[in-house]
Structure 1
Amino acid sequence: MPPVKITEQLSIGGQPDESAFAAFRADGYAGVINLRPDGEEPGQPGNEAESRAAKAAGLDYDFIPVTGPTITEADIRAFQEAVADTKGPVFAHCRSGTRALTLHVLGEVLDGRMKRDNVVALGRAHGFDLAGAAVWLDRQATRTPIVTGFFEARTSSIQYVVTDPATKRCAIIDPVLDFDERSGATGTMSADAVLAHVEKEGLTVEWILDTHPHADHFSAAHYLKEKTGAPTAIGSHVIDMQRLWRDLYNLPALATDGSQWDRLFAEGDSFKLGSLAGRVMFSPGHTMASITYLLGDAAFVHDTLFMPDSGTARADFPGGSATALWHSIQAILALPEDARLFTGHDYQPGGRHPRWESTVAEQKRRNSHIVDMDEQGFVAMREARDRTLPMPRLILHALQVNMRGGRLPEPEANGRRYLKFPLDALTGAAW
């Protein structure tokens, strides 16, 4: 099947042979976008082979694996970015070309350049059935709350703005304060991007929420509270982490009553976001203080579950437990099958684009740490895997900040702030 030209920048089609990549270059294409998950069918070249063929032909290459039923806005935006960033025409392929055209038209509708009612007709004009795209748009229109993710590449973290469309009140979940451990520099670029979105959309920040004290980035909760006046919150078991880590850091003056936050949430607690009712689940395992926020059909599961191709979170930090993690996962998977699950990190296996949204059904069907697994097998797998992992490079930097609700240490007599961390206190050295 020859490429089907959609715009001056984009052509689509089915699976090419590796030998076709040189011809793409000769035909004037500057890049290839592969939308097929590896192993979709026998004989498929796969990501690594296509990447090599593209490089040999002098083509840009992007790997954005999607399936029709699991497309998210992150996939649509990644596709748009890949097309826009290529300096010349792009050939995007899946098995038949339908997914490529679907991603294109969904982006056009979301950005207001096309109406939903024109989607199916446009597909038919090019020889494709886009009924699935129309279904996606109809389903998306009923989703509440509106969730906007911000991927922070340095730490592979995702910040969220969660909005009640009826009142335009929002919560910011797991915000990132930028930190460069090599220079000691701190910055607010990531948090400011969130604030810019809030201002652009005319939102009012009602909550600043952390799911747990993070071990791989600084929390921007305190900074955002200063900027917005919104209350901060975290799980009530943060006090247990404060007591544990106060001793590890030898910080006797650290208050260990959770007073660094405006509210501490326990299992089953409720809260309001505009007209939406929120609920809290205690989700220990990754840390002893982890919680999940439930708002509408969305659950913010932090580091308990990753995307299905990445498995589950480690449980070997002080106070962590693989057994507790298993039970927390089971409670999350007991939510409705179509509940949206938003994770706290994405490490982009295979070099794919960042993703952060799945569903309960998708996790049950595709997550290799869950499928056909019982508690005993999961605990054995998780503990064996964790023994091979070095500690996060920022764990000792981050926790002394995050135990204080994102506050940096107070300046010393010379006006400078200093981090303090213990030597030989944790296992898991990088060597």
Structure 2
Amino acid sequence: MSVSKISDKLSISPQPSVDDVRRLREKGYATLINNRPDAEEATQPGTVVESREAEHCGLTYVYVPVTLGTITEADVRAFQKALDASDGPVFAHCKSGTRSLSLFLIGEVLDGRMAADDVVEFGHAHGFDTSAAAVWLKQHLARRPRVKGFFDKHTWSVQYVVSDPATGKCAIIDPVLDFDEKAGATATINADAILNYVRENDLTVEWILDTHPHADHFSAAQYLKEKTGARTAVGERVVDVQKLWKGIYNWPELTTDGSQWDRLFAHGETFKVGSIDAGVMFSPGHTLASITYVVGDAAFVHDTLFMPDSGTARADFPGGDARILWKSIQDILALPDETRIFTGHDYQPDGRAPRWESTVAEQKKSNPHLAGGTEEEFVALRTKRDKTLPMPKLILHALQVNIRGGRLPEPEANGMRYLKFPLDALQGAAWE
């Protein structure tokens, strides 16, 4: 096994054997990072075997699978997080070591510790061709807009700040209001982290955007509006969702004209984030009101597509439809191949680090729910799978907040706020 020492803390290597993994701890390593997707070659051990051997040897194991053509900033940050968190030297590998080194070098450049012009020379000095990392950096630094994702591990949700580097204007997309269903407690931990990022980067919030009324977390849109004064917006078909759930909640006083938001977007409508053109695509199927925001080269799809290794969103909520979801996904996949796709959830298959960015090309090639499939096959797959899924644990809690733009119920005479949810209103979902 050929090992290259990159820094005092990081060494990289081509694919180690199982015996090599077993000897890492005795060689002084504390963490093993696997940057190689499974099934590249029949002979590679794979993440299940590597993680088992690492655990047996007392190593921390981290799985951040990438290819050189699909590295995202989220991958880079996941690699950095594993490196920083290790209490000792780190051993990272892919097939040759090039991807592991590329993740490290990209992070060094993004954080200002290395110049982009030095990436290729550094690679050559260590026996690697890192030209792909240099190309990635050139493309990344030229891109607009800048996208920062915030992962909420409690609800598996991803929230975004999308900003225009030229003007410092930004939009917040699908922010989470923290809710502990056991204690009935609310908090603003996620939203305040977003506000800290906005403040630290001297950004001005123009928009607070919902892609749809969420069923698995509370929206922090109203809280952030109060803090920033920014306009809130959602798709115009939110009124259909309001009318549907008004009946389910038996809520006669609920206003169902969408007036809880400052703006209701129609399909094809355009707006700006700073100087960057943005548009709206109606993307129903998961819900009646789901929309996709396309800001520059970035599409925020929330519950339509997940990362390619996780497939697509369910379509069995009230108002959902698998066939309509298929058509919405085809519209998204008709965007240019290089369009960046940002999803709203990540459930970390195989225990990998959270990821939320892909591309149209990657989705078409690698998403098992879509690649080479037909509409009928998708509908059959989605319908069969949805029958096995329990309802989100917060759906009845969250919808009564989110169909009002993230407003909590008004306090009652005793000063307390109360949620209301019906019994036996949602039939057919699997039990956990």
TM-score per shorter chain, which class? Answer: over 0.9
Distance in 2, Cα, partners of 1:293 & 1:90: 39
Contact 2:120 2:134 in 1 (8 A): yes
Large movers: runs of 4+ above 4 Å:
none
Does residue 99 of structure 1 match 2:86? no
**Superposition RMSD on alpha carbons, in Å?**
0.7
Deviation at 1:430, TM superposition (A): 2.1
Does residue 152 of structure 1 match 2:152? yes
TM-score, with normalisation over the residues of structure 2? 0.99
Gaps of 5+ in 1: none
Contact 2:387 2:430 in 1 (8 A): no
Contact 2:234 2:265 in 1 (8 A): yes
Q: How does 1:166-315 map to 2 (within 5 A)?
A: 166-315=166-315
1:430 corresponding residue in structure 2: 431
Bigger CA drift: 138-147 or 198-207?
Answer: 138-147
SS of corresponding position for 1:132: helix
Distance in 2, Cα, partners of 1:276 & 1:49: 46
1:34 corresponding residue in structure 2: 34
Contact 2:21 2:53 in 1 (8 A): yes
Percentage of pairs with the same residue: 67
CA deviations 1:395-421 (Å, max 9, x no partner) are 001000000100000001110001000
The amino acid across from 2:24 in the alignment is: F
SS of corresponding position for 1:243: helix
CA deviations 1:314-334 (Å, max 9, x no partner) are 000000010110000000000
2:82 corresponding residue in structure 1: 82
The amino acid across from 1:248 in the alignment is: I
Distance in 2, Cα, partners of 1:63 & 1:53: 14
Deviation at 1:22, TM superposition (A): 2.7
Distance in 2, Cα, partners of 1:371 & 1:65: 20
TM-score, with normalisation over the residues of structure 1? 0.99
Distance in 2, Cα, partners of 1:274 & 1:132: 31
1:350 corresponding residue in structure 2: 350
SS of corresponding position for 1:70: coil
2:413 corresponding residue in structure 1: 413
CA deviations 1:194-219 (Å, max 9, x no partner) are 00000000000000000000000000
Deviation at 1:23, TM superposition (A): 1.4
The amino acid across from 1:430 in the alignment is: W
1:17 corresponding residue in structure 2: 17
Distance in 2, Cα, partners of 1:43 & 1:423: 53
Distance in 2, Cα, partners of 1:393 & 1:429: 12
Distance in 2, Cα, partners of 1:180 & 1:296: 36
Distance in 2, Cα, partners of 1:21 & 1:279: 49
1:143 corresponding residue in structure 2: 143
Distance in 2, Cα, partners of 1:82 & 1:195: 25
Paired residues, number: 431
Does residue 50 of structure 1 match 2:50? yes
Deviation at 1:2, TM superposition (A): 2.4
Gaps of 5+ in 2: none
CA deviations 1:223-252 (Å, max 9, x no partner) are 000000001000101000000001101111
Distance in 2, Cα, partners of 1:157 & 1:327: 24
Distance in 2, Cα, partners of 1:315 & 1:22: 44
The amino acid across from 2:431 in the alignment is: A
Deviation at 1:3, TM superposition (A): 1.3
CA deviations 1:346-385 (Å, max 9, x no partner) are 0010000111111110000000000111111111111111
Q: How does 1:62-77 map to 2 (within 5 A)?
A: 62-77=62-77
Deviation at 1:429, TM superposition (A): 4.4
The amino acid across from 1:77 in the alignment is: R
Deviation at 1:43, TM superposition (A): 1.1
1:332 corresponding residue in structure 2: 332
